[in-house]
Amino acid sequence: MNLRLSILLVSVLVIAGGGFFMVRANQPRTANPDQPWMYRIDDSVIVHIAVTNAGERIDYDRKPGSTTWYIQEDPEVPVFSDKWSGTPLLLSGPRVNRVLGATIDDPASYGLEPPETTVTVTQRGGHTFEFHLGSNTPDNLNQYARLVGTPTLFTVPSIWGDVINNLVSKPPYPRLYDLEDTALVYVEITNNGDTASYGRRYRDGAYRWFILEEDEEILVPADQWEGIPEFLGYPRAYDVLSETLEDPASYGLEPPITRAKIGQEGGGIIEFHLGDLTPDGNNRYGRVLDDDRLYAIPKDWAESLIKLATEPLYPTPGG
């Protein structure tokens, strides 16, 4: 097996969950060194990827002479590299688990007509591969698949199919940082001199969040904190305006109007800043410490963040 693809597939499976490995560990070791590929190309020649799932389609393009990928929107949006990295390699050579038949007598019975997912991979020069993903196999470990233009019925790991479907359901939009798999333990927001700090503490047999003041900790009601970790864990950026930020003061970023510190379980701290509104009034300029890029951050997200400082989540009187 291609070594780079092997490493990538292992990484994908680990990220998606260990259950797949647990099930496979209890099955007979019948790995076939001659397992076929659905197709194989070099990931460096892929210039376009289109995925359709559940009636929704999303297209990704790589700029000529560049390694940067964009989501096809108006305007186009660069992908978040931490989430996108490895995707072209993943689609450069899908390895199948089994070949179930040389022909497909009833594609609809396998969820292949119409297909649940359609993927088109285009190489430089215009040659295209299209494959379809159908229903899960009875054990739910695999998914039926076929390559358009060939009569063969394959199965591929369903967890691999989930990763492909996520390209539609969870597009890798740019974001300031990625905390999806890391627990928050500390949040500090400062806006125009107003500061509020929040910390996670283990109290009464459970983790709870508190407003941290100089001489006391004030419990944040659970219903008020609900949704905050998810909100802070996915800071969507509207766009990457520049790969190299020059003259941050001209964007209201030095000194910043809003400063945020996000503490992660394990000790990591992310600090990011928000500055002036963009000329269209829809976004705020943003930056992350130790990141040279200039971002456009949706104004509504920024306003919700700022409220954590200007309207701290104190318990409701009498509540």
Q: What is the pLDDT of residues 132-163, one digit of tens each?
A: 999 999 999 999 999 999 999 999 999 999 99
**Spatial CA neighbour of 82 closest among 298, 293, 311, 281:** 293
Q: How confident is the model at residue 30 (pLDDT cuts 50, 70, 90)?
A: very low
Residue 21 predicted with pLDDT over 50: no
Query: Which of 78-82, 146-150, 272-276 has the lowest average pLDDT?
Result: 78-82
Q: How confident is the model at residue 316 (pLDDT cuts 50, 70, 90)?
A: confident
Cut 0.95: pTM above it: no
| CA–CA distance, 85 with 106 (Å, rounded to integer) | 37
In this structure, the strands spanning 77-78 and 153-157 are unpaired
What integer best gives the mean pLDDT of the chain? 88
Query: Which of 11-15, 204-208, 232-236 has the lowest average pLDDT?
Result: 11-15
- pLDDT score at 32: 45
Q: What is the pLDDT of residues 232-259, one digit of tens each?
A: 988 989 889 998 999 999 999 999 999 9
CA 57 to chain centroid, in Å, comes to 17
Q: How confident is the model at residue 266 (pLDDT cuts 50, 70, 90)?
A: confident
Task: Name, in order, each residue with C-beta under 8 angstroms of 170's C-beta and a sequence gap of 6 or more.
Answer: none
> Taking residues 3-19, what's their average pLDDT?
43
Q: In 102-123, which positions are buried (b, 16+ CB within 10 angstroms) versus exposed (e)?
A: eebeebeebbbeebbbbbbbbb
> Taking residues 70-91, what's their average pLDDT?
92
The answer to whether the beta carbons of residues 60 and 71 sit under 8 Å apart is yes
**Spatial CA neighbour of 297 closest among 309, 281, 317:** 281
| CA–CA distance, 96 with 302 (Å, rounded to integer) | 45
